[in-house]
């Protein structure tokens, strides 16, 4: 078991002035908190925080981070409180511990590739301080090393999560040694058979290969000495997981993977790297297509090396990596190689390059102008543009920052989006506008009565939600137009005693739609609803196609509308020398067809038609009078008012009504009153076709018994 002393002496070896007190205090606190707890291995629980802290010293972390390593399980597994840790160890340490606890509490279950990437990003996004991830990686490494004490199911579950999430995260951080350690442990638990095969294969040939390695190192050393190049040469087996990957990628068995040997030549400068490459290629034949120059074109995580594969002395493939000491450090320790202490940092010029590397590594979007911003930036948001949340099933979804439950709902299904009325987040109801935050579990609440609204467009962030909401609104408006269009068309058809349902079944309506250049009848009706086309325009074209003659139906409403609302030639009046004139009939004298008439040009309201002897006209400006004439058409119906004076007698009114019915005149209104001198006075408003009909009717009424006077009003 690691002892505290091992840890403190490690720290002092790379940072002599470190504040060891903090580490010791954390150790004591952790020992107390975990007192009596036992690991599955049977060891006291304290062994775990000790190992984690020790792994962190291997990454050359600062004392804050190592203290956090000691404390990382206290919030989760003991009585310890965050406030207490903050009080005893400071805010920075407390934040690290809380960050690790937050990640540890999450359950990542999905094994899909895309999911894994989202989970990795979520962990990065939730770690406001990079050191949170480093502590978590150290924690996971020790847990993987002691995984044998877990049940087989747990072993597979944890190994899978490590393979999908933590090993790639270590790679992303550039910490090669943690990445390969994790990967080999994963292989051991996930593919035990293959792991055994690789191990046996390598063990069987171990002696031979060790001799071979010695041989190659000697040959290269000799060559480089000739040219006075100082170099350190290392030979090693590749790690098991990378052999396994090679088997998978190239569909090989273990003994078909030849280049299990990798050599590393480490020199002092870049110039020497290329010189060594030349010498190695002069000694052994390089394999085509295997040379990679990561020195002039570094990888995204700033990894630098020359890679080549050559056919070695025994006809065996050997991978060669050539790099400088600096490059080697970056390759092994990654982000840890760049770790700087707040206290007593001496900046040098290569730092700037290192910050660049860090920026790329973490996909930073903010510019780092000043190297002094380094520590600040370490603690800032790693993915400022994205937010990662859980579905109730435990999948992780990525959204633009500021996304709302509506965005989330639409990402599940557009129907869920349309019916979304709110969300439950960590068991609490939140409104639609609520902005999602990292690590939350979002459960959408829907209602069949809910539907999207234009307001939603103001707060949704995903293009998908925006598009779907707009689409819905457009469809909705169209739906309304269609309903209105149907209504208008139906009313207009009534005048011709036509039924909309019958018309809709008729093929002719489609041909009319096409005449108006629409693709469908629905489009035509929507346009009627929008008011772009009038129902009469449609009916006007429809009737000839259906073989219907233009007859005025007797319905009262139709007549009234016809009398007062229609314009121009429709009224059966022609204005001399003018077409397309707005016409209405004067309310003072109600002229009838056939009656002598004259037009009066109003200011802005077209021509008013009066009886020629109307008193208003006699006093009017002669310049504004215009000749008008009746047209032959008899289709229109006009209103006329007449007054009938009679001797008061029972039955006189019914006699007059009988005459009117007999003469085919509709009575619109009738008023009857009796005068003091016992005369009956009846006022009728009747519908007539023209002046002649009215004359005829009036003559007939006059002949009714006891009728004294019939006059037009
Ligand atoms: Mn732990």
Class of residue 697 by CB neighbours under 10 A (exposed 0-12, middle 13-18, buried 19+): buried
Taking the C-alpha atoms of residue 306 and residue 452, their distance in angstroms, rounded to an integer, is 57
Q: What is the dihedral of CA 600, 601, 604, 607, to 10 degrees?
A: 60
Rounded mean pLDDT, 686-709: 85
Closest CA to 70 of 54, 59, 58, 91: 54
Q: Where are the beta strands (DSSP E) in 268-380?
A: 285-286, 292-293, 306-311, 317-324
Separation of CA 390 and ligand 1 centre (Å): 23
Quote the pLDDT of residue 374.
Answer: 35
Cα–Cα distance list, 481 to 454, 472, 536, 637 (Å): 18, 14, 17, 33
The pLDDT tens digits for 640-684 are: 888 888 887 667 777 887 888 777 777 777 777 777 777 888 888
Rounded mean pLDDT, 232-249: 86
Q: Please, which residues have CB within 8 angstroms of residue 503's CB and are 6 or more apart in sequence? A: 489, 493, 509, 542
Q: Which of the four pLDDT bands, split at 50, 70 and 90, describes residue 152?
A: very high
pTM for this structure? 0.55
Separation of CA 14 and ligand 1 centre (Å): 25
Separation of CA 193 and ligand 1 centre (Å): 29
Rounded mean pLDDT, 91-98: 91
Taking the C-alpha atoms of residue 464 and residue 638, their distance in angstroms, rounded to an integer, is 60
Alpha carbon 328 to its chain centroid, in Å, reads: 43
Separation of CA 282 and ligand 1 centre (Å): 51
Rounded mean pLDDT, 32-49: 92
Helices (H), 595-690: 615-618, 652-662
More confident residue, 681 or 384: 681
Measured in degrees and rounded to the nearest 5, phi and psi for residue 212 equal -60, -45
* Catalytic annotation present for 507: no
Q: What is the dihedral of CA 222, 226, 231, 236, to 10 degrees?
A: -20
Closest CA to 666 of 693, 695, 706, 634: 693
Q: Which of the four pLDDT bands, split at 50, 70 and 90, describes residue 252?
A: confident
Separation of CA 45 and ligand 1 centre (Å): 10
Inform me whether the pLDDT recorded for 405 exceeds 90: yes
Separation of CA 49 and ligand 1 centre (Å): 7
Q: Please, which residues have CB within 8 angstroms of residue 698's CB and are 6 or more apart in sequence? A: 642, 710, 712
Collapsing DSSP to helix, strand or coil, 139 comes out as: helix
Q: Mean pLDDT in the chain?
A: 80
Lowest mean pLDDT of 109-118, 176-185, 420-429, name the range: 109-118
Separation of CA 711 and ligand 1 centre (Å): 110
Separation of CA 475 and ligand 1 centre (Å): 55
Q: Which of the four pLDDT bands, split at 50, 70 and 90, describes residue 332?
A: confident
Separation of CA 101 and ligand 1 centre (Å): 9
* Catalytic annotation present for 76: yes
Cα–Cα distance list, 110 to 119, 165, 395, 430 (Å): 9, 11, 6, 26
Question: ∠478-483-489 over CA atoms, to 5°?
Answer: 120
Rounded mean pLDDT, 520-543: 83
Separation of CA 162 and ligand 1 centre (Å): 14
Quote the pLDDT of residue 344.
Answer: 37
Class of residue 312 by CB neighbours under 10 A (exposed 0-12, middle 13-18, buried 19+): buried
More confident residue, 551 or 16: 16
Measured in degrees and rounded to the nearest 5, phi and psi for residue 676 equal -60, -35
Separation of CA 100 and ligand 1 centre (Å): 9
Rounded mean pLDDT, 274-296: 90
Collapsing DSSP to helix, strand or coil, 459 comes out as: helix
More confident residue, 11 or 569: 11
Separation of CA 407 and ligand 1 centre (Å): 35
Class of residue 498 by CB neighbours under 10 A (exposed 0-12, middle 13-18, buried 19+): buried
Separation of CA 218 and ligand 1 centre (Å): 44
Separation of CA 195 and ligand 1 centre (Å): 26
Measured in degrees and rounded to the nearest 5, phi and psi for residue 590 equal 40, 70
Separation of CA 141 and ligand 1 centre (Å): 10
Separation of CA 231 and ligand 1 centre (Å): 40
Rounded mean pLDDT, 401-422: 93
Percent of the chain with pLDDT over 90: 29
Name the pairing type of β-strands 386-390 and 396-400.
antiparallel
The pLDDT tens digits for 298-323 are: 775 668 899 999 988 877 788 899 99
Quote the pLDDT of residue 555.
Answer: 43
Quote the pLDDT of residue 476.
Answer: 83
Cα–Cα distance list, 22 to 67, 68, 138 (Å): 7, 10, 19
Measured in degrees and rounded to the nearest 5, phi and psi for residue 521 equal -65, -35
Separation of CA 65 and ligand 1 centre (Å): 14
Separation of CA 73 and ligand 1 centre (Å): 5
Taking the C-alpha atoms of residue 268 and residue 298, their distance in angstroms, rounded to an integer, is 18
**Sign of the C-alpha dihedral, residues 684, 685, 689, 690?**
positive
Rounded mean pLDDT, 153-173: 87
Separation of CA 146 and ligand 1 centre (Å): 11
More confident residue, 673 or 447: 447
Separation of CA 143 and ligand 1 centre (Å): 7
More confident residue, 75 or 202: 75
The pLDDT tens digits for 54-77 are: 999 988 888 999 999 999 999 987
Q: Which of 21, 76, 196, 550 is catalytic?
A: 76
Q: Which of the four pLDDT bands, split at 50, 70 and 90, describes residue 351?
A: very low
Inform me whether the pLDDT recorded for 599 exceeds 60: yes
Q: Which of 43, 77, 373, 570 is catalytic?
A: 77
């Amino acid at each position: 078991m690691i002892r505290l002393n091992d840890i403190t002496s490690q720290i002092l070896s790379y940072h002599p002035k470190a504040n060891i007190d903090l580490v010791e205090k954390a150790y004591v606190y952790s020992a107390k908190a975990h007192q009596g707890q036992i690991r599955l291995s049977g060891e006291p629980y304290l062994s775990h925080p000790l190992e984690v802290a020790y792994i962190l010293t291997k990454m050359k972390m600062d004392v804050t981070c190592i203290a956090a390593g000691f404390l990382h399980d206290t919030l989760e597994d003991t009585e310890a409180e965050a406030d207490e840790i903050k009080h005893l160890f400071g805010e920075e340490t407390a934040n690290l511990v809380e960050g690790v606890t937050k990640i540890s509490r999450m359950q990542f279950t999905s094994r899909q590739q895309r999911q894994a990437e989202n989970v990795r990003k979520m962990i990065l996004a939730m770690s406001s301080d990079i050191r949170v991830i480093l502590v978590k990686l150290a924690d996971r490494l020790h847990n993987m090393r002691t995984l044998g004490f877990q049940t087989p199911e747990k072993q597979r579950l944890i190994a899978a999560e490590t393979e999908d999430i933590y090993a790639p995260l270590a790679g992303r951080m550039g910490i090669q040694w943690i990445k390969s350690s994790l990967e080999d442990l994963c292989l051991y638990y996930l593919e035990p058979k293959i792991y055994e095969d690789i191990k046996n294969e390598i063990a069987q040939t171990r002696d031979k290969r060790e001799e071979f390695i010695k041989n190659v190192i000697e040959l290269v050393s000799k060559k480089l000495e000739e040219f006075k190049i100082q170099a350190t040469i290392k030979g090693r087996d590749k790690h098991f997981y990378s052999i396994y990957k090679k088997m998978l990628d190239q569909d090989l068995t273990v003994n078909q993977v030849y280049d299990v040997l990798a050599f590393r030549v480490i020199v002092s400068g870049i110039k020497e790297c290329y010189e060594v490459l030349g010498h190695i290629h002069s000694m052994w034949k390089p394999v085509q297509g295997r040379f990679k120059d990561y020195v002039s074109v570094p990888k995204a995580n700033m990894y630098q090396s020359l890679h080549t594969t050559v056919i070695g002395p025994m006809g065996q493939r050997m991978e060669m990596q050539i790099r400088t000491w600096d490059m080697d450090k970056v390759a092994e320790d990654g982000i840890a190689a760049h770790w700087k202490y707040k206290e007593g940092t001496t900046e040098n010029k290569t730092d700037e390059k290192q910050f660049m590397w860090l920026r790329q590594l973490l996909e930073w979007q903010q510019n780092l102008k000043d190297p002094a911003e380094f520590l600040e930036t370490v603690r800032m948001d790693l993915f400022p543009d994205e937010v990662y949340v859980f579905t109730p099933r435990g999948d992780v979804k990525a959204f633009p920052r500021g996304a709302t439950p509506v965005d989330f709902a639409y990402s599940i299904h557009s129907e869920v989006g349309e019916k979304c009325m709110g969300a439950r987040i960590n068991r609490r109801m939140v409104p639609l506008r609520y902005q999602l935050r990292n690590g939350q579990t979002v459960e959408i609440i829907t209602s069949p009565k809910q539907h999207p609204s234009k307001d939603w467009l103001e707060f949704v962030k995903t293009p998908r939600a925006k598009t779907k909401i707009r689409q819905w609104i457009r469809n909705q408006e169209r739906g309304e137009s269609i309903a209105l269009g149907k209504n208008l068309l139906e009313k207009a058809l009534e005048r011709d005693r036509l039924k909309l349902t019958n018309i809709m079944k008729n093929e002719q309506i489609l041909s009319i739609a096409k005449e108006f250049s629409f693709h469908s009848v629905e489009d035509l009706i929507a346009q009627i609803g929008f008011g772009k086309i009038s129902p009469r325009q449609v009916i006007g074209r429809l009737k000839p196609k259906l073989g219907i003659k233009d007859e005025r139906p007797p319905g009262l409403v139709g007549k009234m509308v016809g009398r007062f609302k229609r314009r121009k030639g429709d009224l059966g009046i022609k204005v001399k020398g003018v077409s397309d004139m707005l016409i209405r009939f004067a309310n003072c004298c109600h002229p009838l067809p056939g009656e002598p008439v004259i037009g009066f040009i109003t200011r802005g309201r077209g021509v008013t038609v009066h009886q020629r002897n109307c008193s208003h006209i006699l006093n009017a400006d002669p310049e504004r009078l215009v000749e008008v004439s009746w047209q032959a058409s008899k289709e229109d119906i006009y209103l006329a008012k007449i007054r009938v004076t009679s001797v008061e007698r029972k039955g006189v009114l019914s006699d007059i009504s009988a005459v009117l019915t007999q003469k085919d005149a509709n009575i619109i209104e009738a008023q009857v009153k009796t005068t003091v001198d016992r005369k009956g006075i009846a006022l009728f408003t009747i519908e007539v076709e023209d002046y002649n009909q009215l004359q005829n009717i009036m003559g007939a009424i006059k002949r009714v018994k006891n009728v004294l006077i019939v006059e037009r009003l």
